[in-house]
Amino acid sequence: MSLLDANAIHPTTLPDGRVYTDTVYMKNVIDHPRIEIGDFSYFTHSGTPEETAQILAPYLGHGCRERLVIGKFVQIARGSYFITSSANHPMTGFTTYPFRIFKPETFGYKDLPVRDTIVGHDVWIGHDAAIMPGVRIGAGAIVAAASVVVRDVQPYAVVGGNPAAVIRMRYPTEVINDLLDIAWWDWSIEKIEANLTALSNGDLAALKIA
């Protein structure tokens, strides 16, 4: 029997048999035209499933131009959130006050640039992290708890702090390149679970022949 159910809303069952309702598979609870979520990516929060999009990206209204794209197998801890481009205030004049957001006929600043926020596959975002507008986070990266990510993050980098900076790379460059080529997150769930030992133990040779 598979460990994971791609169609679940709450993927975690506790040892006593109860379903842990604070963790949700985002793809199965978010219905938003500007948010794209990959399979098996989860977010832990204290709201209802219907509130997930608002908690995750509180400024990404349905009329916004930017997108939030989150890959497969992403793990987002409680308290983390994305500040997307439409949250920005105008900064080219003498005031940052957002006069035009208060009436529907003038809502938004169409002249302000927007940039999609992209999270790669198998990214771990720790407790209370804030991801700022337009950031790209590469596959396999780790964002430390309480970090404020203001710039792009390389694949398999560990970043932390405010503003977040690289603490270390998880693996040497050649290993990172191999992992990106293998792209295990695109395998079938059956193949992934058949190779869990190699994935968990860091057996790159086994993954290459899987």
User: How far is the C-alpha of 184 from the C-alpha of 175, rounded, in Å?
Assistant: 14
pLDDT at 149: 98
CB contact at 8 A, 207 and 198: yes
Q: pLDDT digit string (tens) for 114-150? A: 899 999 999 999 999 999 999 999 999 999 999 999 9
Q: Determine if the pTM surpasses 0.85.
A: yes
Q: pLDDT digit string (tens) for 151-187? A: 999 999 999 999 999 999 999 999 999 999 999 999 9
Catalytic, out of 45, 62, 89, 127: 89
Max intra-chain CA distance, the chain: 62
Q: Is 10 in the active site?
A: no
Phi, psi of 208 (to 5 degrees): -65, -25
Q: In this structure, what DSSP letter does residue 170 have?
A: S
Phi, psi of 130 (to 5 degrees): -120, 125
The edge-to-edge listing of strands for the beta sheet with 35-37 is: 35-37, 68-70, 117-119, 136-137
N residues, the chain? 210
Domains with residue ranges and CATH for the chain: 23-170 (2.160.10.10), 173-210 (no CATH)
